[in-house]
Chains A and B, each alone.
Chain A
Amino acid sequence: MRLSSPLLLRILGFAFLAFFLIYWLPFSHALPDGLPMRFGTYRTIQASIACVWVLVALGLNILTGYNGQISLGHTAFVATGGYTAAILMADHGWPFWAVLIPAAVVSGALGLAVGIPALRLSGPYLAMATMALALAAPQVLKKYDGLTHGTQGISVRGDWSTAPGFIGDMVTQDQWSYFVALFLAVVMTLIAWNVIRGRVGRAFVAIRDSEVAAASMGINVPRYKTIAFAISAIFAGIAGAAYVQIVGYIAPESFNVLRSINFLTTIVVGGLASILGSILGAISFKMVDDISDFLPLGEGPMAEQVPWALYGGLLIVVVTIMPYGMAGAIRRFQMWLAFRKPSERRVALGGPALGIVAAIAVSELAGGSLGIIVGLVVALAITYSLWLPALVRGATRGYGRWVGALRGSRGPPGFVTSEDASDERSDAER
């Protein structure tokens, strides 16, 4: 049996993924003592929140990536779902499973309401209009405190966050929250996948590519654009409910406009119009959030600021060399791989494989986040050693050539060719 057998690889991949998500992440206390904040529980909560961001990113990508409507207001939808859930759970004693539907419905209704005026707007004008929503949300939540408890927020922790029956003896509250979040993320990913692959998703993409042609195919453009907004808001609403269940608390400032902007960043970095991209983007965004946990920066402003400054730089580099995000890079990588010599292919695939091994090993010894970063570095270093010569060649010919080499067609596996970029440009000019 050869390693490159696609079926075997796929089965191995899924098995590993299942092991990683269901056992290793919540149960392995792969961290030394004396670092309470970095202990397994903390990582479990982080993983749960990553699942929430995955939900938001999926919804936003349906709207922005597939349907071409930009939104800088998604925190408003998340907050709507979160508050609906929190109010029902804290003030009316509903169990978590029961609040998912109202959270989705209320948020989806808001999405519909926003989607109608949005029909007339596009590009930065739509971005502004949706951003207005994110700006207004905290103020509205603070002002009308009869329902929302104002600035103090709502705490929800109770029986419903422990697992039922015998499962409750096996897992802690946080682990249970994680499984709930993971379940939601998996189910919603499947739903997003179905919607996108089917007739509705095709209509979304058709509208993005050409509204006039879409209409002449019998697609009611305004109706589908509003539907896209509603679906997107439903995803965000469910994410909000999940967030409340994990964190146990929600306040007006939990979701501000900067987070809204970050959501957009997430899907661009992950890859627009890609389910895989939404997931990768959300996870990597959560990881950047946590970098300060292991960088040796001590406490104080340095520990707070340095990771985010690095994040800014990383953002620029990633967007420059991967115009179609991480998902686009992976697609390119696959195509590149198909035309390589076996020896090169072994190096290119060996990198990620060794990276995963290194990630788990380092996590067991030192820490989860550090492990993931080390794994990434190992994987990238080995894989991209193949294309180092092209980069060096580019570097000797000036800055422009160097950037060109980073995204050029010959050298870099996983990156877009310059022809693709020029296609995009001619589109923009038209």
Chain B
Amino acid sequence: MTGLEIRELTRSFGGIIALDDVSLDVHPGEIVSLIGPNGAGKTTLFNCISRIYDPDRGSIRFDDYDLVKMGPDDVVNTGIARTFQNVELFKTMTVIQNLLVGQHSRFSPPLRKGLFWRHANAAIHAFREVFACAARLPTSWREERLARDTAEEVVKFLGLEQVKNIPAGALSFGIQKNVELARALVARPRMILLDEPASGLSHEELGHLGEVIKSVRDEFRVTILVVEHHMELVMPISDRICVLNFGRKIAEGTPAEVQSNPAVIEAYLGE
């Protein structure tokens, strides 16, 4: 249980270097915030962790897993779930159905080491899975019931009872963000990546969100890495803060340390 270890991560798009030699550790049980001006590379870092992008250089390790060697669909099996900046819910599905999809990894075969075995195992599993579904074997409806129970639990925890049978696309942006958090939680991850959870929220809701994030950490015992602009949210909840600017890490430390760091003040207040 070593948590997330990012070493010398570099990624560029065309001529623009979005991430430049970034290293970061997130220890189990921590809430770490990733802040920085627009275009600092925060979301790129997330997308590298969740394997949507390939890094040009560097390593990302989570516990015993080398994430760089994995596909985007393996990441959640290592115990990392995430939310998206602009909400990527399954719009035509109801909230509950979204949460059922969120538990897809729960009933996937355990992650095997080695490329060949991972794929062979998954292919066999896929065949069995389709058959179990088509014939409605007991295994499939037992899993279904388990998944439903978990979904209901998380719905209750996040106060989504009112909207649970409404198609996600019909909900307001703020609630959709909440549903995304729920969808990440039902996967029972050990670590959650939150991409701008506060966007679209009012000032009062910000305070509430901070409480929610803390209680998520305590109740579900997850490590949390947050990308966020809103200092009102970041400062009170973070154990540590990492500041990015133009793809480089310019500071790291407790909220108090970061607030007094001259490089950070310069990046935020301009020249």
Do A and B make up one complex? yes
Q: Are A215 and B134 in contact (CB under 8 A)?
A: no
Say whether A220 faces chain B, with CB atoms less than 8 Å apart.
Answer: yes
Say whether A346 faces chain B, with CB atoms less than 8 Å apart.
Answer: no
Which one of B71, B88, B135 lies within 8 Å of A220 (CB-CB)?
Answer: B71
Tell me which residues across on chain A come within 8 A of B238, comparing CB atoms. Answer: none
Task: Write the nearest CB–CB distance from A218 to chain B, whole angstroms.
Answer: 3
Q: Are A220 and B90 in contact (CB under 8 A)?
A: no
Task: Across the interface, name the chain B residue whose C-beta is closest to A191.
Answer: B134
Q: Are B88 and A198 in contact (CB under 8 A)?
A: no
Tell me which residues across on chain A come within 8 A of B101, comparing CB atoms. Answer: 202-203, 206, 214, 217, 219
Task: Across the interface, name the chain A residue whose C-beta is closest to B93.
Answer: A205
Tell me which residues across on chain B come within 8 A of A200, comparing CB atoms. Answer: 129-130, 133
Tell me which residues across on chain B come within 8 A of A427, comparing CB atoms. Answer: 91
Tell me which residues across on chain B come within 8 A of A203, comparing CB atoms. Answer: 101, 104
Task: Write the nearest CB–CB distance from A201 to chain B, whole angstroms.
Answer: 7
Q: Are A218 and B92 in contact (CB under 8 A)?
A: no
Q: Are A198 and B105 in contact (CB under 8 A)?
A: no
Q: Are A219 and B104 in contact (CB under 8 A)?
A: yes
Q: Are B105 and A199 in contact (CB under 8 A)?
A: no
Tell me which residues across on chain B come within 8 A of A5, comparing CB atoms. Answer: none
Q: What are the interface flags for A211-249 relative to B under an 8 Å C-beta threshold, 1 for contact and 0 otherwise?
A: 011111111110110010001000000000000000000
Most buried by B among A203, A213, A214, A218: A218
Which A residues from 234 to 288 make CB contacts under 8 A with B?
A: 273
Task: Write the nearest CB–CB distance from B116 to chain A, whole angstroms.
Answer: 15
Q: Are A199 and B73 in contact (CB under 8 A)?
A: no
Task: Write the nearest CB–CB distance from B141 to chain A, whole angstroms.
Answer: 8
Roughly how many angstroms separate A315 CA and B92 CA in the complex, as a whole number? 25
Tell me which residues across on chain B come within 8 A of A423, comparing CB atoms. Answer: 169
Q: Are A210 and B88 in contact (CB under 8 A)?
A: yes
Task: Write the nearest CB–CB distance from A276 to chain B, whole angstroms.
Answer: 16
Q: Are A216 and B82 in contact (CB under 8 A)?
A: yes
Roughly how many angstroms separate A341 CA and B271 CA in the complex, as a whole number? 68
Say whether B263 faces chain A, with CB atoms less than 8 Å apart.
Answer: no
Tell me which residues across on chain B come within 8 A of A305, comparing CB atoms. Answer: none
Roughly how many angstroms separate A100 CA and B74 CA in the complex, as a whole number? 36
Task: Write the nearest CB–CB distance from A320 to chain B, whole angstroms.
Answer: 22
Q: Are B126 and A209 in contact (CB under 8 A)?
A: no
Roughly how many angstroms separate A194 CA and B140 CA in the complex, as a whole number? 10
Q: Are A212 and B52 in contact (CB under 8 A)?
A: yes
Most buried by B among A213, A214, A217: A217
Tell me which residues across on chain A come within 8 A of B104, comparing CB atoms. Answer: 199, 202-203, 206, 217-219
Q: Are A231 and B130 in contact (CB under 8 A)?
A: yes
Q: A205-B93, A423-B169 are in contact. Are A220 and B134 (CB under 8 A)?
A: no
Say whether A403 faces chain B, with CB atoms less than 8 Å apart.
Answer: no
Task: Write the nearest CB–CB distance from A127 to chain B, whole angstroms.
Answer: 21
Roughly how many angstroms separate A56 CA and B118 CA in the complex, as a whole number? 34
Q: What are the interface flags for B85-114 relative to A under an 8 Å C-beta threshold, 1 for contact and 0 otherwise?
A: 000111111000100111011011000000
Q: Are A227 and B130 in contact (CB under 8 A)?
A: yes
Which one of B71, B76, B136 lies within 8 Å of A217 (CB-CB)?
Answer: B76
In this complex, the interface size class of chain B, counting residues with CB under 8 Å from chain A, is 35 or more
Tell me which residues across on chain B come within 8 A of A208, comparing CB atoms. Answer: 92
Roughly how many angstroms separate A215 CA and B74 CA in the complex, as a whole number? 8
Q: Are B133 and A199 in contact (CB under 8 A)?
A: yes
Say whether B84 faces chain A, with CB atoms less than 8 Å apart.
Answer: yes
Q: A212-B52, A214-B101 are in contact. Are A220 and B130 (CB under 8 A)?
A: no
Roughly how many angstroms separate A247 CA and B140 CA in the complex, as a whole number? 38
Roughly how many angstroms separate A209 CA and B93 CA in the complex, as a whole number? 9
Task: Across the interface, name the chain A residue whose C-beta is closest to B47.
Answer: A212
Q: Are A216 and B76 in contact (CB under 8 A)?
A: yes
Say whether A195 faces chain B, with CB atoms less than 8 Å apart.
Answer: yes
Q: Are B135 and A194 in contact (CB under 8 A)?
A: yes
Roughly how many angstroms separate A144 CA and B133 CA in the complex, as a whole number? 38
Most buried by A among B104, B183, B187: B104
Roughly how many angstroms separate A214 CA and B130 CA in the complex, as a whole number? 17
Tell me which residues across on chain A come within 8 A of B169, comparing CB atoms. Answer: 423
Tell me which residues across on chain B come within 8 A of A273, comparing CB atoms. Answer: 92
Q: Are B134 and A194 in contact (CB under 8 A)?
A: yes
Tell me which residues across on chain A come within 8 A of B136, comparing CB atoms. Answer: 194, 198
Q: A194-B135, A206-B93 are in contact. Are A218 and B52 (CB under 8 A)?
A: no
Tell me which residues across on chain A come within 8 A of B75, comparing CB atoms. Answer: 216, 218
Tell me which residues across on chain A come within 8 A of B123, comparing CB atoms. Answer: 223
Which one of B88, B130, B144 lies within 8 Å of A213 (CB-CB)?
Answer: B88
Roughly how many angstroms separate A401 CA and B83 CA in the complex, as a whole number? 42
Q: Are B140 and A198 in contact (CB under 8 A)?
A: yes
Tell me which residues across on chain B come within 8 A of A206, comparing CB atoms. Answer: 90, 93, 101, 104
Roughly how many angstroms separate A110 CA and B72 CA in the complex, as a whole number? 27
Which one of B52, B126, B133, B144 lies within 8 Å of A223 (CB-CB)?
Answer: B126
Q: Are A199 and B92 in contact (CB under 8 A)?
A: no
Roughly how many angstroms separate A366 CA and B160 CA in the complex, as a whole number? 57
Roughly how many angstroms separate A198 CA and B132 CA in the complex, as a whole number? 9
Q: Are A199 and B90 in contact (CB under 8 A)?
A: no
Q: What are the interface flags for B127-149 relative to A under an 8 Å C-beta threshold, 1 for contact and 0 otherwise?
A: 00110111110001001100000
Task: Across the interface, name the chain A residue whose C-beta is closest to B186.
Answer: A217
Q: Are B134 and A195 in contact (CB under 8 A)?
A: yes
Roughly how many angstroms separate A215 CA and B75 CA in the complex, as a whole number? 9
Roughly how many angstroms separate A227 CA and B134 CA in the complex, as a whole number? 13
Q: Please list the 7 inter-chain residue pairs (A to B) with the smallest Cβ-Cβ separation, ordered nearest first.
A: A218-B105, A213-B88, A198-B133, A209-B90, A215-B72, A218-B76, A220-B73
* A-B contact list, 7 entries, CB within 8 Å: A194-B133, A199-B104, A199-B140, A200-B133, A213-B90, A218-B77, A219-B73
19 other contacts beyond A194-B133, A221-B73, with CB at 8 A cut-off?
A194-B136, A198-B133, A199-B129, A199-B144, A200-B130, A200-B133, A202-B101, A202-B104, A212-B52, A212-B72, A216-B81, A218-B187, A219-B101, A219-B104, A220-B71, A221-B72, A223-B126, A224-B126, A227-B130
